Amino acid sequence: MWENRAIKIDELKRSLKLICSGRNKVHVIVTTRDAEIASKIQTTEAYAIEPLSSDVCWNIIKQIVGFEDNDKESLENIGKEIAMKCQGVALAARVLGYMLRSKNFEAWVSVKENGMWNKSTTEKDYDDVLASLKLSYSSMPLDLRLCFTYCAIFPKGHKMAKDHLIYQWAALGFIESSNEDSSWLQHGEGIIKQLLGMSFLQHSNSPSVSYYILTAYFYDKLISLNFIGLVDPQTTKPENLDYSNY
């Protein structure tokens, strides 16, 4: 749970009371990374889950990288050191794993020794999880970066229809277009697959349309760190886009 607005939490608590007031007792488990949210929603003492071990984080990275299928034994010691920087958070391990899977030995060393890890120990509200996000973000090709940051202009939790999102990217010139419709459509679908793989986007279940939402943690960080500076929110509002060529 990421919602921290008191009015929304109160609405949820009232709804849960109605559900739990019947004859059949219902137990609801709420998970969150925010201790303040836990204190607002809890009806019993919150249980703090221990972070993942660095070995588990390393296994997540290895699985995404395809470590077992490739001759990458020389990377194991470096990879284990990188896994320790995940702070036991699976999301950080997934982001790093996806970024590392196409990198060579020198690039792995560069990630391990990157100055962003040092920044996490000197700045308030800046941790290694955020450092992994910024490393991954900075390594994105420009078109992927623009498409990702554009998603932050939507409200938190907004469901983005796949085709509509791709059309908006194309209307803004973020993805290449040509006379063959399939070229830029396939390009857009490829970008969505990459963002899903990096856990920057996640599926929102729908019976008929493919919807996606920006992962809540990344949405908050995009806003707080002003990552969306690459996109002007006034000129890129969906209602202001020109779809005439698409």
pLDDT, tens digit, for every residue of 7-61? 888 888 888 777 766 666 777 888 887 788 888 888 788 888 888 899 999 999 9
Block mean pLDDT (10 aa), the chain, length 246: 78 79 74 81 83 91 77 80 87 87 86 77 58 80 86 79 89 73 79 85 65 64 50 42 42
Note the pLDDT of residue 244: 42
Note the pLDDT of residue 113: 87
DSSP state of 155: P
Distances (CA, A) of 140 to 120, 144, 147, 149: 21, 6, 10, 11
Q: Across-strand partners of 201?
A: 214
Note the pLDDT of residue 240: 45
Note the pLDDT of residue 236: 41
**Cβ–Cβ under 8 Å, residues 136 and 95:** yes
Note the pLDDT of residue 218: 63
The structure tokens listed for 56 are 């588990």
Could you tell me the maximum CA-CA distance found in the chain, to the nearest angstrom?
63
Please state, in angstroms and rounded to a whole number, the distance separating the CA atoms of residues 31 and 52. Answer: 15
CA 144, 149, 155, 157 dihedral sign is: positive
Please state, in angstroms and rounded to a whole number, the distance separating the CA atoms of residues 58 and 56. Answer: 5
Global pTM reads 0.69
For residue 140, the one-letter residue type is M
Given the structure tokens 């940051």, which residue do they identify? 149
Note the pLDDT of residue 59: 93
Q: Side-chain half-sphere of 184: how many Cα atoms within 13 Å?
A: 21
Count of H-run helices and E-run strands, the chain: 12, 3
**Cβ–Cβ under 8 Å, residues 154 and 136:** no
